[in-house]
């Protein structure tokens, strides 16, 4: 059962948090009035997400969440505080690796959205650790439900990337890892609000910054689940550009791992050739033209030339 543990020394706060989930039967809520009580619950129950107050007597929230990190590293940790202090947020991130930082008074919708994302993150970490490829694809499909315009995107990207990797002469073992990375390349979108993913226009600066964090968030989950370096590279670097203007690291040219360069081409091709919230799909001919135009800035020129030949050949076969 998906379990959330709320830890706060003020009973009215715990009561208010409990009321939020009163009508939901898909989440089990547990409550503790102190860090010590919370640790005892953690020892007895599988807790997916823990939400802890910062300022509590005898054991501060950061100390409590740090202990949770050390003993139950997969449990997703959220800090809640009435003190919106940057140093507290930095402490929470550095010492306890908190997933999110929530200030009181909270917005109920934003709180439940954050907790739902944290629950999905826990499920993702646990499932990726299973090393079962059917689980990988199922998870990719579940993540796509957040972004309605990307249904089938991960599977199509994997199809294109595998074809390109095979034509580039990569070994079968690496091709398999590229397939898994393609399925999971957008797994970091669990940390991006649905309103951002489905916004039908240009995003503001803050929302764009949130969206641009998804490669880092996804790669952290994959690394925590002890996935291969190839899969992690695909997730982390698939938005890097050959001219160095991509994100999150601004890698340039052949600094970008080969597997990420391959998936980047497949990802952009499918994005252009599919409907998006802000536009309809381009025709195949226009998609090819745009890919050619982007070659100098976005793509490994040798790989994209090989890919476009493959794409045109496949379209001719299917005509």
Residues noted as catalytic = 189
CA 199, CA 243: separation in Å to the nearest integer? 28
Tell me how crowded residue 106 is: count the other CB atoms within 10 A of its CB: 17
What is the per-residue DSSP string for 105-139? Answer: SPPHHHHHHHHHHHHHHHHHHHHHTT--HHHHHHH
205 by Cβ neighbours in 10 Å (0-12 / 13-18 / 19+) ranks as: exposed
CA 267, CA 284: separation in Å to the nearest integer? 15
CA 60, CA 66: separation in Å to the nearest integer? 10
What order do you get walking across the sheet with 28-32 strand by strand?
28-32, 3-7, 49-53, 76-81, 100-103
């Amino acid at each position: 059962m998906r379990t959330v543990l709320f830890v706060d020394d003020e009973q009215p706060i715990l009561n208010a948090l409990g009321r939020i989930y009163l009508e939901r039967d898909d989440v089990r809520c547990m409550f503790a009035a102190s860090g010590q009580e919370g640790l005892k619950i953690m020892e007895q129950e599988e807790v997916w997400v823990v939400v802890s107050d910062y300022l509590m007597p005898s054991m501060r929230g950061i100390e409590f969440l740090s202990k949770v990190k050390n003993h139950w590293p997969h449990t997703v940790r959220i800090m809640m505080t009435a003190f919106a202090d940057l140093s507290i947020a930095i402490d929470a991130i550095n010492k306890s690796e908190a997933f999110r930082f929530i200030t009181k008074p909270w917005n109920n919708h934003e709180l439940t959205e954050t907790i739902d994302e944290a629950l999905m993150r826990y499920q993702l970490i646990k499932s990726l650790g299973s090393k079962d490829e059917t689980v990988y694809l199922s998870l990719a499909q579940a993540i796509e439900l957040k972004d309605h315009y990307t249904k089938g995107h991960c599977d199509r990207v994997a199809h294109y990337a595998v074809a390109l990797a095979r034509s580039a002469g990569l070994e079968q073992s690496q091709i398999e890892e590229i397939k898994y990375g393609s399925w999971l390349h957008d797994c970091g979108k669990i940390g991006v609000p649905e309103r951002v993913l489905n916004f039908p226009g240009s995003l503001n600066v803050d929302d764009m910054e949130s969206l641009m964090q998804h490669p880092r968030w996804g790669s952290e989950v994959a690394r925590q689940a002890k996935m291969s370096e190839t899969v992690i590279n695909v997730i982390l670097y698939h938005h890097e550009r050959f001219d160095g203007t991509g994100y999150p690291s601004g890698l340039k040219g052949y600094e970008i791992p080969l597997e990420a360069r391959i998936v980047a081409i497949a990802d952009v091709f499918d994005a252009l050739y599919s409907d998006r919230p802000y536009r309809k799909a381009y025709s195949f001919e226009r998609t090819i033209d745009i890919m050619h135009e982007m070659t100098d800035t976005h793509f490994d020129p040798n790989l994209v030339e090989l890919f476009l030949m493959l794409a045109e050949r496949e379209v001719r076969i299917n005509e």
